[in-house]
Amino acid sequence: MSGQGEGNGRVAGKVAVVTGAASGIGRATAKRLIAEGARVVAADIDETGLAKLAAELGEEALAAVRCDVTAEDDVAAAVALATSRFGGLDIAVANAGTGTASEVADHDFAEWRRVVDLCLHGVFLTVKHAGAVLRAGGRGGSIVTMASLNAIQPGRGMGAYCAAKAGVVALTEVAALELGRHGIRVNAIAPGLVRTTLTEGMWSIPGIVDEFLDNTPLGRFSEPEEIANVALFLASDEASFVSGSLYSADGGGSTRRYPDM
- Min dist. Cβ of residue 219 to ligand NAD (A): 16
Helix (H, G, I), strand (E, B) or coil at 102: strand
Helix (H) / strand (E) element for 214: namely helix 208-214
> Which residue in 86, 161, 212, 247 is the catalytic one?
161
- Min dist. Cβ of residue 75 to ligand NAD (A): 9
Looking at the Cβ atoms of 130 and 193, the one nearer to ligand NAD is: 193
- Min dist. Cβ of residue 95 to ligand NAD (A): 5
Q: Tell me the window of 4-12, 44-52, 57-65, 132-140 that interacts with ligand NAD (CB under 6 A).
A: 44-52
Q: Is residue 4 within 8 Å of 33, Cβ to Cβ?
A: no
Q: Tell me the window of 14-22, 34-42, 85-93, 133-141 that interacts with ligand NAD (CB under 6 A).
A: 14-22
Distance of CA 122 to the CA centre of its chain: 11
Helix (H, G, I), strand (E, B) or coil at 96: coil
Is residue 236 at the binding interface for ligand NAD, with CB under 6 A as the rule?
no
The DSSP 8-state label assigned to residue 259 in this structure reads P
Task: From residue 218, give the alpha-carbon distance in Å to each of 91, 93, 193, 228, 252.
Answer: 30, 26, 12, 18, 7
Q: How many CA atoms lie within 13 A of 189 on its CB side?
A: 31
Q: Is residue 66 within 8 Å of 48, Cβ to Cβ?
A: no
Q: Check residue 209 and give left, alpha or beta (phi > 0: left; psi -120 to 50: alpha).
A: alpha
Question: Interface residues for ligand NAD in 155-174 (CB under 6 A)?
Answer: none
Is residue 216 at the binding interface for ligand NAD, with CB under 6 A as the rule?
no
- The contact pattern for ligand NAD, residues 63-102, with x = CB under 6 A and - = no contact, is ----xxxx------------------------xxxx----
Is residue 253 at the binding interface for ligand NAD, with CB under 6 A as the rule?
no
Q: Name 27's Cβ contacts closer than 8 Å, sequence gap at least 6.
A: 21, 49, 53, 224
Is residue 19 at the binding interface for ligand NAD, with CB under 6 A as the rule?
yes
Q: What angle (nearest 5°) sits at the alpha carbon of residue 57, between those of residues 72 and 221? A: 80
- Exactly one of 118, 144, 158, 186 binds ligand NAD (CB under 6 A); that residue is 118
Q: Is residue 164 within 8 Å of 115, Cβ to Cβ?
A: yes
Is residue 246 at the binding interface for ligand NAD, with CB under 6 A as the rule?
no
Active site residue 258: no
Q: Name 173's Cβ contacts closer than 8 Å, sequence gap at least 6.
A: 244
Count residues contacting ligand NAD (CB under 6 A)? Answer: 30
- Exactly one of 25, 33, 34, 35 binds ligand NAD (CB under 6 A); that residue is 25
- Min dist. Cβ of residue 25 to ligand NAD (A): 4
Question: Interface residues for ligand NAD in 179-198 (CB under 6 A)?
Answer: 191, 193-194, 196-198
- Min dist. Cβ of residue 152 to ligand NAD (A): 12
Site residues for ligand NAD per CB under 6 A: 19-20, 22-26, 44-46, 49, 67-70, 95-98, 118, 122, 146, 148, 191, 193-194, 196-199
Which residues does the annotation mark as catalytic?
A: 161
